[in-house]
Each structure stands twice: as C-alpha cells, then as structure tokens.
C-alpha cells in the first residue's frame, strides 16, 4: 500500500531529493511483500507441493511484472504522447502505482481467509500423517 505514494513521489517530485527518496522507497516497498507471501505459500502448501507453489508465484509475478507491465506502460505512453508530450511517461508509469494499490487490496482481502486456510492445511497434513 505504501508503494503507490512512493511511486507518485518518484514520478512527480520537483526536486532531486524528493524523487530520489521516492525511488528508494518505491524500490524498498516493491519487494517488501515477497518474504511474507512466500512464507504464507510455504505454510499453506503441502510438503510435496511447495516447489510448485513457489514456481507459480514466481511465474505469475514475472508474467505480470516483466511482460505485461512494460507492454501496458509503452502502449499508454504512445497514446498519451500527443496530449502530454515528454511528460507522458510519468503518467504512463502511474500504472505501476495503480497495480501496487490493487495488489495491496488483493492481499488484504486474501488475509481474511488466511486463518481458515491455515487450519485446513494443518488438518490435511495431520490426516496424511495418520493415514486417514
């Protein structure tokens, strides 16, 4: 959730210190979620499925962040270039801030189900150990 305001500060900071702080905070917040997300995936996945869970997380984030992200930013930049000129890249990159906000909302919604999912995972692991 904090990545979005940091991205806006980076893109629209008027002075060098402002955009440098914005860039540093954007870089920090862009990866801060990975540890908890990976740990949650490991705690919910069965032992034999953990590698698949991580592979799906990495594949999904790679496809969205490194394939679709630059494509959408480029398309929007081309579309806005006529109206905004050289500043169109700033507005195009706001997609990143919007995606970060959307991801934060998604994680908060998923967190509501975390306790139930964790208990279900523990029950499945217990059942497999007892052979039930």
pLDDT at 132: 57
The stretch 17-35 carries a mean pLDDT of 91
Distances in whole angstroms, Cα of residue 124 to Cα of each of 38, 45, 116, 119: 20, 10, 12, 9
pLDDT at 130: 80
Q: How many domains does the chain have?
A: 1
Structure tokens at 98: 């919007």
Condensed to tens digits (0 to 9), the pLDDT of residues 31-80 reads 888 899 999 999 888 888 999 999 999 999 888 888 988 999 999 999 99
The stretch 105-110 carries a mean pLDDT of 90
pTM score, two decimals? 0.73
**Structural domain of residue 122, as residue ranges?**
3-130
């Amino acid at each position: 959730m904090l990545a979005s305001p940091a991205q806006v500060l980076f893109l629209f900071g008027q002075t060098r210190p402002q955009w440098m702080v914005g860039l540093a905070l954007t870089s920090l917040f862009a990866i801060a979620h990975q540890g908890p997300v990976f740990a949650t995936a490991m705690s919910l996945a069965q032992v034999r499925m953990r590698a698949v869970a991580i592979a799906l997380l990495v594949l999904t984030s790679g496809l969205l962040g490194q394939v679709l992200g630059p494509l959408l930013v480029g398309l929007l930049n081309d579309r806005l270039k006529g109206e905004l000129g050289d500043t169109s890249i700033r507005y195009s990159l706001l997609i990143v801030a919007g995606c970060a906000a959307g991801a934060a909302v998604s994680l908060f919604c998923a967190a509501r189900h975390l306790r139930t999912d964790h208990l279900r995972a523990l029950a499945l692991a217990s059942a497999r150990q007892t052979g039930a």
